[in-house]
Amino acid sequence: MKVEVIKNILGENDKIAGENRNFFAGKKICVMNLMGSPGSGKTTLLEKTLGKISEKIKVAVIEGDLFTAKDAERIENHNVPVVQINTSGGCHLDAPMVKKALQNLDTENLDLIIVENVGNLVCPAEFDIGENFKTVVLSITEGDDKPLKYPLIFKESEIAVLNKIDLLPFTNFDLTAAREDLTTIHPGIKILETSCTKETGLDEFCNLILKKVSDVKS
Amino acid sequence: MKVEVIKNILGENDKIAGENRNFFAGKKICVMNLMGSPGSGKTTLLEKTLGKISEKIKVAVIEGDLFTAKDAERIENHNVPVVQINTSGGCHLDAPMVKKALQNLDTENLDLIIVENVGNLVCPAEFDIGENFKTVVLSITEGDDKPLKYPLIFKESEIAVLNKIDLLPFTNFDLTAAREDLTTIHPGIKILETSCTKETGLDEFCNLILKKVSDVKS
């Protein structure tokens, strides 16, 4: 019975996700779903990314949080249109929430929408929102065992960002093991090492995004 | 309709949680529900805690993970009875899972069960498992904005452990702001600063746990 209900909810979500996907395709907008644990550094990475790409392409951001507009306020400082979704305790964004957020966004001539999901390494991976691709951010301080412990989110993501790489010397994180586990779970996944404080790997991340945007346009 | 279904699931959970609570009370076993983000350091804190208290009291551990028995294997090395619950993708432990795990645990003469929940700052807080008290672990590297962004888990927890305090100099974490926010969300919450690598604050944490165990016995 419980399974039945969950299936129905997911079925409804997938229907709306399909509508979102058609909408984005019609306008040739590329959409990235940015996921990761609380405190993995998603918002800071997003701020750094906007600083580098917002003069080259037209970007908007959808911010998902349980409560508060703290992250949306940070994004607004970068002069990028941003819509805040508050899930009121909900542990992930779903396709209907994103569809509703689009009503508050001027999507004319937009090239890219970055959707920052709720901080959670489990539930967001289960819900298609109609994005073109998913990126998961894993902070070095979280430990190298996370890919095997939370495989779905890494399996679903085209890019895995190993963030806060500057803190590597202060942890026992095994980069080789993490890379091997990621590749086992998701052969072909693109693995980047970034630090927002030391400005490491950010150009590589931005170039991957710009390539995806260009693929959608062509 | 969705709300109705969720209410029913929670109602069933609360019923079993009550049964678990009665079972623990009958045997005078204290139960701590240990929660926090993936990589906040729950398992390492647990290992350090077991090292300090397992000669004083009889402890067992229930380990919750989506997949793998990595954490349970780490606990087994400390010669403490441990039962692994794999949620197969589920984002939290619930009362029926804990009830089932108890069948595989010798609860005679046990003083304390520590339940390490799935790494997640959202969903575990919503499910009563019949514990005596909840502890939330927040890593300094996750950022000081987390209490306001994920208030429920901090509201529900009697103890908030600010872990990896040794990494404070390498972050912009504002300890004063975090403490203020925690106290606003949950007046009276006990806030500890710990480092498992530098062995900071661990005795204080163990003493709080031993006090709770002693309260249950008397």
Determine the pLDDT at residue A6: 57
**What tens-digit pLDDT sequence spans chain A (218 residues)?**
445 555 666 789 999 999 999 999 999 999 999 999 999 999 999 999 999 999 999 999 999 999 999 999 999 999 999 999 999 999 999 999 999 999 999 999 999 999 999 999 999 999 999 999 999 999 999 999 999 999 999 999 999 999 999 999 999 999 999 999 999 999 999 999 999 999 999 999 999 999 999 999 98
Q: How long is chain A?
A: 218
Residues of chain B contacting A122 with CB distance shorter than 8 Å: 66, 89, 91, 118, 120, 123
Is B120 in Cβ contact with A91 (below 8 Å)? yes
Cβ pair B70:A122 closer than 8 A = no
Strands A59-65 and A112-116: parallel
Q: Give residue B189's region: left, alpha or beta (phi > 0; psi -120 to 50).
A: beta
The angle that helices A2-26 and B2-26 make with each other, rounded to 10 degrees, is 130
Instruction: Provide block-wise average pLDDT over 10 residues at a time, chain B (218 residues).
Output: 58 95 98 98 98 97 95 95 94 96 96 98 97 98 97 98 98 98 98 98 98 96
Per-position b or e across B89-98, b if 16+ CB within 10 A of its CB = ebbbbbbbbb
3-state SS class at A114: strand
ipTM of the complex, rounded to two decimals: 0.90
Question: Which pLDDT does position A1 carry in this prediction?
Answer: 41
The answer to whether A119 contacts B123, with C-beta atoms less than 8 Å apart, is no
pLDDT score of A10: 75
What long-range pairs does B133-136 form, CB within 8 A, spacing at least 24? B133/B32, B133/B33, B133/B157, B133/B158, B133/B159, B133/B212, B134/B32, B134/B33, B134/B34, B134/B35, B134/B158, B134/B159, B135/B32, B135/B33, B135/B34, B135/B35, B135/B159, B135/B160, B135/B161, B136/B35, B136/B36, B136/B160, B136/B161
A-chain residue closest to B122, CA distance: A91
The shortest C-alpha distance from A129 to chain B (Å) reads 19
Distance CA B28, CA A66 (A): 37
Q: Which residues of B touch A66 (CB under 8 A)?
A: 122, 149-152
Contact A134, A42 (CB under 8 A): no
Residues A185 and A182: their CA atoms lie apart, in Å, by: 5
Residue B18, CA distances (Å) to B62, B87, B127, B130 in order = 18, 21, 12, 6
Contact B38 A65 (CB under 8 A): no
To which H or E segment does residue A163 belong?
Answer: strand A159-163
> Chain B residues with CB inside 8 Å of A124's CB?
none
- From chain A, pick out residues whose CB is under 8 angstroms from the CB of B9: 2
